[in-house]
Amino acid sequence: MKNSLDILVPYKYVASNILLTWPDIKFGIDNKYLCSDDAITHAVEEMEKKHEYNADLEELAMLFKGEEIEPYLSRLASSTSQDANETEKRWLYLLLKWIYDNKFRLYTAPLEMIEIVYADFDYPEAISNLIRYMPSDGANIGENVLFENWKLYLNTNRKLYLPL
């Protein structure tokens, strides 16, 4: 996996758009979609929400920004049973939502960005109908249709990942 666009998604945005898990945090940090300090922020938030927590969560929450987050992050991520494919799907959704929500404000060519994300995530079939160069039953589809497909993808997947 690579982050060809060097997209750094703000932690608050991520946390408000999916029910965030430790595998999500680790994937985001490993692929530079999140900064390492976001793991500390998440640990602090988790401790505020829970009455019971383990030593790794407590140790991570007590770190100062810029301190080494390993091995706490790895142990927390491995203690959560979430399939790696599921984590990738969640990040694919997040990145497409981030780009969509910031299209034309931060990005001049959002459809091109989708194509780069499509390649970075090894060409997932789930978003092939958002790609300009993909054949569409022989018909030449316009950008308006691609934007509508994008919006439909986000609305459909939002229900799967939305925080409670």
What's the pLDDT tens digit per position in 109-138?
A: 999 999 999 999 999 999 999 998 876 655
pLDDT average, residue stretch 13-25: 95
In the prediction, which pLDDT does 138 show?
52
**Positive or negative: CA dihedral 63, 65, 68, 69:** positive
Average pLDDT of the chain to the nearest whole number: 92
> Which residues, 6 or more positions from 113, have their beta carbon under 8 angstroms from its beta carbon?
5, 99, 107
SS3 103: strand
Q: What are phi and psi of 15, to 5 degrees?
A: -65, -25
- Please give the share of the chain, as a percent, with pLDDT higher than 70: 95
Which string of DSSP letters, residue by residue, matches 46-61?
Answer: HHHH-S---HHHHHHH
50 to 53, 54, 86, 114, 154: CA distances (angstroms): 7, 10, 24, 37, 30
DSSP letter (8 states) at residue 64 = P
The pLDDT tens digits for 53-95 are 899 999 999 999 999 999 999 999 999 889 999 999 999 999 9
The domains of the chain are located at 22-78, 84-161
Q: Indicate whether this model's pTM tops 0.85.
A: yes
